[in-house]
A = this chain, B = another copy of it.
Amino acid sequence: MEEVNTTRSRGFVEELIDQEDDFDRWYVDVVKRAELADDAPVRGCKVVRPYGYALWENFQASLDSRFKATGVQNAYFPMLIPQHMMEREAEHVEGFAPEVAWVTRGGKSDLEEPLAIRPTSEAIICSKLGEWVQSYRDLPIIVNQWCSVLRWENRPRAFLRTSEFLWQEGHTAHATAEEADQRARMMLDIYRDFLENELAIPVIPGVKSETEKFAGAVRTYTVEAMMGGKFWALQSGTSHYLGENFSKAFGIDFLDKDGERKFAHGTSWGLSQRTIGAVVMVHGDDAGLKLPPRVAPIQAVIIPIWRKEAERDGVEEHITRVTNALGDVRTFIDRRDDKTPGWKFNEWELRGVPLRIEVGPRDVQSGNAVVVRRDTREKKVVAIDQLEQVVADLLVEIQASLYTTALERQKAHTVPVTSLGELYDRAASNAGFSVASWCGGEACEATVKDASKATIRCLPFDQPSEHGPCIVCGKPGVTEAIFARAY
């Protein structure tokens, strides 16, 4: 067997730049070289390649079952929205107008009215809810769609910021404000649960400031995650309580039990392929991706190793024993004959597969397999009859370890600050999340943003009982806020 240096083996594939040298460049390179995404020949867009899409499919399956368990029904609404309909809710259209792509020609003719490609679907969905909802018996309505939306973007970055992106958007209508708000919070909690338990990404749940809330919402809830490298924030999912704003604009009213006509209370909530970017940035290291086992398209890659052709059949037979032992584990056998085992080790590390299983002539003789963790690079020689249990345990352990590592980082780089100077220094030096008291004033929020590019990521649900003076104006604080740079 050829000599493979598994402790410093990156030399076999073209090296990535180290994260600390240029985190943004590392991100772009690893996304492309791991074949998650590729450039598209359309401004602002990217292609989601099979490996990236397989990840998204696992996200979808996992979120969708959580949704359905709470009564969500999937549906599909047209992607084109007539201009007059986009304009019905005033704040909404003002917020989205700069980003909308317009269809003005169909076939050979100019259209009488331009059609927007949905940047989000409140307008078209609410126009139908207005027809479907007549009585309290028709409520609640809880629909969701998995689709792509389009928001014009000049400087795309794969998954994080592209003109067209994949997401899910849920839309609901309820008889009361309380029920709607509960639904909005319930969906945020599903996002938290999904991010923490499937993607191993700890998040801080909270409320957006008025400035940062969704265009047309009464209140926006958010889960904010800390990325690796620069410790910036990534808004990872949002859920909006829309009050009666869209109901009034689109006539979603109903005859209530008490015989009165009332407007329904709405919510909407979305989580997008940005979360793929989050997985890359939270868990990745200088060797590439580290995918959480629960969502990894390949949980264990099997690398056959032989020097002489005569060893091949034995190795293949042994691989059959290995895959039989592994049952439901998502495996892939890399049989390419133009790549060395060392090259494959590096490539699958780059692509973030949680476990590598090496099968060589020595393993055939001993009845073992060599199992290597992606996260710690720890190596174990495992007997075939132990393999199922060991692999199952390791996958659980890696999932937990990724989460713990991310949580420790988040805690280590979330720091209370009491002076603007400190806040600005931390923003300038990519030091992480700064926690400060805030008076609730938009002017104070704008001051910080203009000076440091740090924004209020959220007002965490978890608040102290008392607040110090506002970090900007010194007046009494009404809430604690998390300030950070964000993607």
Chain A residues packing against B (C-beta within 8 Å): 38, 40-42, 45-50, 52-54, 56-57, 73-82, 85, 97-108, 114-115, 117, 124, 127-128, 131, 137, 143, 147-148, 150, 152, 163-164, 166, 336, 338
Contact = CB atoms under 8 A, between A and B. Distances in A.
A183 to B, nearest CB: 17
Contacts of A117: 103, 117
Given A73-B54, A107-B100, A117-B103, A78 B42 contact: yes
Contact of A78 (B40, B54, B73): B40
Q: Is the interface of A mostly helix, strand, loop or mixed?
A: mixed
Contacts of A124: 40-42
Contact of A49 (B75, B104, B150): B75
Contacts of A336: 137
B128 A38 contact: yes
Nearest to A98: B107
A103 B106 contact: no
Contacts of A106: 100-102, 152
Nearest to A112: B43
Contacts of A52: 75
Contact of A128 (B47, B105, B127): B47
B102 A164 contact: no
B48 A79 contact: no
Given A41-B82, A75-B49, A105 B98 contact: no
Contacts of A148: 76, 79, 147
Contacts of A50: 73-75, 143
A42 B164 contact: no
A148 B118 CA distance: 13
A69 B174 CA distance: 43
14 contacts: A40-B128, A41-B124, A41-B127, A42-B82, A47-B76, A47-B77, A50-B143, A78-B164, A80-B163, A100-B106, A101-B105, A101-B107, A105-B114, A107-B152
A42 B115 CA distance: 8
Nearest to A143: B50
- In the A-B complex, the 4 residue pairs with the smallest Cβ-Cβ separation, listed nearest first, are A50-B73, A45-B78, A48-B76, A102-B105
A41 B152 CA distance: 24
A46 B54 CA distance: 29
A199 B372 CA distance: 46
Q: Choose among A80, A85, A99 the residue with the greatest number of B CB atoms under 10 Å from its CB.
A: A80
A81 B80 CA distance: 17
A69 B124 CA distance: 38
A14 to B, nearest CB: 16
Nearest to A106: B152
B41 A53 contact: no
Contacts of A152: 106-107
A163 B107 CA distance: 11
B45 A80 contact: yes
